[in-house]
Structure 1
Amino acid sequence: MSMSDSDSSSSSSYAADHKSFKQITRERLLHEMLRSAKTGDSKSTWKVLIMDKLTVKIMSHSCKMADITDEGVSLVEDIYKRRQPLPTMDAIYFIQPTKENVIMFLSDMSGKTPLYRKAFVFFSSTIPRELVMEIKKDTRVLPRLGALKEMNLEYFPIDSQGFMTNNERALEELFGDEENNRKGVACLNVMALRLATVFASLREFPFVRFRAAKTLDPMTMTTFRDLIPTKVAAGVWDCLMKYKKTIPNFPQTETCELLILDRSLDQIAPVIHEWTYDAMCHDLLNMEGNKYVHEVPGKDGVPPERKEVLLEDHDPVWLELRHAHIADASEKLHEKMTNFISRNKAAQIQHGSRDSKEMSTRDLQKMVQALPQYSEQIDKLSLHVEIAGKINSIIRETGLRELGQLEQDIVFGDAGMKDVIKFFTTKEDATRENKLRLIMILAAVYPEKFEGEKGRNLMRVARLTDDDITAVNNLRMLGGQPDTKKSLTAAFGGLKFDIHKVVSSFEFKSMIFEYYKIVFHLKIVILSSEEVCCKERPCW
């Protein structure tokens, strides 16, 4: 089903720029918001940026402090904390359009001695009319207003193409209590509003398509859960209709497609092991967000130093490998290291058969010239070789490959209750998390087997905690489970994996490069060419 409209034609204003989603968001915050406060009658060279809890997160997901400072911001403040009066400086407010925020803003700028000389106010989403009237009523504040604008930017960009709407409790609020869905309705409204602001930033007007309620039948009562995609679609559409009238250059006819689904369509994806490099990093390495902590060997007997690195788009190796299967990532890292050694003069001399006595003055000169490039590139490569090595070690030590194969067999109907029981009895050292994942996959595929004593017995065999058992039982609240193995395999088009096509090895070997001692010592771990994973493997 879809919602559409056909007014006068207009093209997307950002389409020709070919910028990533994160770049578009960043430019809107820095240029459209912060830089715009430099124009007009602003006489303040440096400004104060005031935000609330949500807008701080929005800003931090797109911009660094250096970016903000470059736009003339010398101080960042929390709107709800006590602040020092700076009557000679202008303030930029980036806040949600809530009653509490408007009250705080008015208290800052009203009275004989406001906290700041002038205020440039930018709301993260559409401000209710009654709050606009509240601002207009304060005659002392109006002359001190430099701008009052809706940014319509209320999402968190997480990479060049992905974003979040910060609805951390959405699953609980939408699918939890059917009797009292007040929280669910509020969650849907926020979700729809924030999703719509994505299209406001992109200057795209989508066809809004959604999964229709399964119980749209005059004789059957439709539940709140059944209508989740419908309600989100309606909320997004209402916002888009407002954008057509209020946002300059917003398209008047559809330019793209938006497909809205809910979790009942696929309960397995969040719990089954995903085998991409990115997913393995976050699953197995206890990372905090995108922050990876590792130890850098010290020099001359100095203890190792703990170093934090961010695995983000600024890292070209991460950008290239993050969505690759871990086996492909391992193979590509080996290729990169081999190619690097073959191209870099310092690496060739260090890795070659000649010792220092055979090195000519010209060789030494070329090696020294190559050192800066060698050091920078080898640091990036060695970091990812270390990460991939840790991942593959954990895969071996925890028997994750066998578990992943069993997960797939369950999903495609080639394994069932007996296979899971056998796994639990033979793999008693399996982690609690992996046991829970396996049980939840089984419950999603065979919900009928968890209705009686069989399900309880299986969870006892797995030694699940009471909280884990509750999580498994709550799967039924999502609805939409396939009734039979046949319906599930049909939905996947009868795809099969050849269990004999397994990865030959995830082994990593250590290869030590000892740099010419006059310069420095460097040790890195690289893949052994004899033990690189082959391409023929199950699609884990």
Structure 2
Amino acid sequence: MSEVLKVLILDRLTLKIMSHSCRMADITGEGVTLVEDMYKQRQPFPTLDAIYFLQPTRENITMFLSDMAGKAPLYRKAFVFFSSPISRELVVDIKKDPRVLPRLGALREMNLEYFAIDSQGFITNNERALEDLFGDEENNHKGVACLNVMATRIATVFASLREFPSIRYRAAKSLDATTMTTFRDLIPTKLAAGVWDCLTKYKKTIPSFPQTETCELLIIDRTIDQIAPVIHEWTYDAMCHDLLNMEGNKYVHEVPGKAGGPPERKEVLLEDHDPLWLELRHAHIADASERLHLKMTSFMSKNKAAQIQHGS
């Protein structure tokens, strides 16, 4: 597929995944000429192939079939990749459409449904997890759904790494017939079971996936370290997010305009592509401030343009 130009189609979730994982230049470097939102009106490109990176939901499959069915599909051929395992029912829906099947170039599970925040960290993007898991004791349907999503997304991390973990978690204190055990007590147990179920399926479906444990996954909650939320971090990373008006890892600031014009807005992305950010992000703010001062002094001593600007 690398020789031809392509269109990349993303849904709301996979758009966030890609935004956390790579830059636009990385995407265009692979021959993608256009990135489109699945849920916005799109112009047909019948001479181009399309790559669909989607969450395997009924709504997304319906939209995809609408794109590629009929006498005039939006794209020449569709290469479909799912962020997590797709149900058999949805696969059947795709394959039973005789108009769509010949236009399929690929139908695969990518198992990529987590959000990389840096080279060593990720989140599952469950912003309402606290409310869903602990909000309503009488109705735990939201809690169960939340745990299923978390388990699926955590499992996709190990699918990407080709690691099969031994899962460690703290079991509920009382699991006997005489004591009432609540849903909240069983959250670590249920999450561990959900991750394990996903991983055992990967053993059967993913080529070269380990068949025995290769690492350990520790499932912990805030109760093991209750003081951490009230201790303030003094790292450069924490200070930037606390003191600057940032949107995620993006910081927007103003610089003087050229020739006395109005100030210009500049965007800065604080991420792994920035070597200075990588060097300083986990340093104490006092240490980071001193190192930044030394770097700036060194830069100004060697750069004539900076010397002229400083002198003016």
TM-score band by shorter chain is over 0.9
Corresponding position of 2:37: 78
Corresponding position of 1:165: 124
- Which residue of 231, 253, 269 corresponds with 2:228? 269
**Alpha-carbon distance, 1:313 to partner:** 1.6
- Which residue of 27, 42, 46 corresponds with 1:87? 46
Corresponding position of 1:248: 207
Summarize the alignment of residues 26-65 of structure 1 with structure 2, pairs less than 5 Å apart.
37-38=1-2, 45-65=4-24
TM-score normalised by structure 1 residue count: 0.55
The one-letter code matched in structure 2 to 1:112 is K
The 3-state SS of whatever aligns with 2:118 is coil
Corresponding position of 1:139: 98
CA distance in 1, matches of 2:128, 2:236: 27
The 3-state SS of whatever aligns with 1:212 is coil
Size of the aligned set, in residue pairs, is 312
- Which residue of 212, 220, 231 corresponds with 2:171? 212
Tell me whether 1:152 sits opposite 2:133 in the alignment.
no
The one-letter code matched in structure 1 to 2:75 is Y
Unaligned runs of 5+ in 2: none
Corresponding position of 1:235: 194
Tell me whether 1:99 sits opposite 2:69 in the alignment.
no
Note the alpha carbon deviations across 1:127-165, whole angstroms, 9 max, x for none.
001111111211221111100000000011111111111
Task: Name whichever structure is richer in strand by fraction.
Answer: 2
TM-score normalised by structure 2 residue count: 0.92
The one-letter code matched in structure 1 to 2:70 is G
- Which residue of 155, 165, 175 corresponds with 2:134? 175
**Alpha-carbon distance, 1:90 to partner:** 1.3
**CA RMSD, aligned part only?**
2.2
Corresponding position of 2:217: 258
Tell me whether 1:192 sits opposite 2:151 in the alignment.
yes
Tell me whether 1:310 sits opposite 2:98 in the alignment.
no
Identity of aligned residues (%): 79
**Alpha-carbon distance, 1:522 to partner:** 2.3
Q: Comparing both chains, which one has the higher relative contact order based on Cα–Cα distances under 8 Å and sequence gaps of 6 or more?
A: 1
Corresponding position of 2:25: 66
1:277–1:323 CA contact under 8 A, matched in 2: yes
1:212–1:229 CA contact under 8 A, matched in 2: yes
The one-letter code matched in structure 1 to 2:271 is E
The 3-state SS of whatever aligns with 2:86 is coil
CA distance in 2, matches of 1:67, 1:282: 26
Summarize the alignment of residues 96-135 of structure 1 with structure 2, pairs less than 5 Å apart.
96-135=55-94
1:228–1:262 CA contact under 8 A, matched in 2: no
Point out 4+ residue stretches in structure 1 off by more than 4 angstroms. Answer: 297-304
The one-letter code matched in structure 1 to 2:74 is L
Label 1:320 to 1:139 Cα distance change in 2 as closer, same or farther (>3 A).
same
Note the alpha carbon deviations across 1:98-130, whole angstroms, 9 max, x for none.
111111111211222222111111011000011
Unaligned runs of 5+ in 1: 1-36, 40-44, 348-369, 379-514, 525-540
Corresponding position of 1:521: 309
The 3-state SS of whatever aligns with 1:225 is coil
**Alpha-carbon distance, 1:38 to partner:** 3.8
Tell me whether 1:288 sits opposite 2:253 in the alignment.
no
Task: Name whichever structure is richer in helix by fraction.
Answer: 1
